[in-house]
Copies of this chain bind each other. A is one copy, B any other.
Amino acid sequence: MADFPAMDRRGLQILTRQECDDLLAQGKIGRIGLQVAGETLVLPVLYCYVGGTVAFRTAPGEKLDSAWVKAPASFEIDEWDLGQRTGWSVLVKGRFEEVSDPEEVAALEQSGLESWTPEVSHTTWVRITPTSITGRRIALQRF
C-alpha cells in the first residue's frame, strides 16, 4: 500500500526531511536570501551540500562579505514543469558563516563545485548550517 504524503492546507505536499536532503544533494544552483543595509536580497549561487551544510564560494571584497557573516540566512532550491504544473521547492534556514579552517576549506575544494566566474581568482567559502529544512511539492496528479 502506498504511503500518502502529508499535505498542507493549500493542497501542497509536505516533503520529508529525507526528500529535502536528497534534492539538496542533487542540486547545483540555489538562491540565498539575506539582509544587506535594510534590504532583502535574493541572489543565485552555485552550491554543494556537504556534511549537512550548504556551502558556496564568494569573492572577497564584495559588498556582501562583511554583512552576511553570522547573519540570518536562507537558501532555496526549486524545480518546475510549467506544462505539467508541477514542481517543488526546498527552503533551508540558518546563519551564514565563513569557513576559515584550512582543513574544512580543503575538503570543500575537493567537493567538485565549479566556479562560473573566471575573473575571480581567489574566493572565500561560506556555509549555512541549517536550523530548519522544509520543502513542498505541487503535484496535481498526485494519486
Q: Interface on A for B, CB 8 Å cutoff?
A: 9-12, 28-29, 31-35, 38-44, 59, 72-76, 78, 80, 82, 85, 87, 89, 91, 93, 114, 116-120, 138, 140
Contact = CB atoms under 8 A, between A and B. Distances in A.
A1 to B, nearest CB: 24
A119 B40 contact: no
Nearest to A82: B28
Q: 4 tightest CB-CB pairs across the interface, nearest first?
A: A11-B119, A42-B76, A33-B42, A33-B40
Nearest to A71: B40
A40 B72 CA distance: 7
B76 A44 contact: yes
Contact of A42 (B39, B75, B117): B75
A138 B116 contact: yes
Contacts of A43: 76, 89, 91
Contact of A117 (B12, B32, B120): B12
Nearest to A89: B44
Contacts of A42: 31-33, 42, 74-76, 91
B140 A29 contact: no
A91 B118 CA distance: 22
A24 B36 CA distance: 23
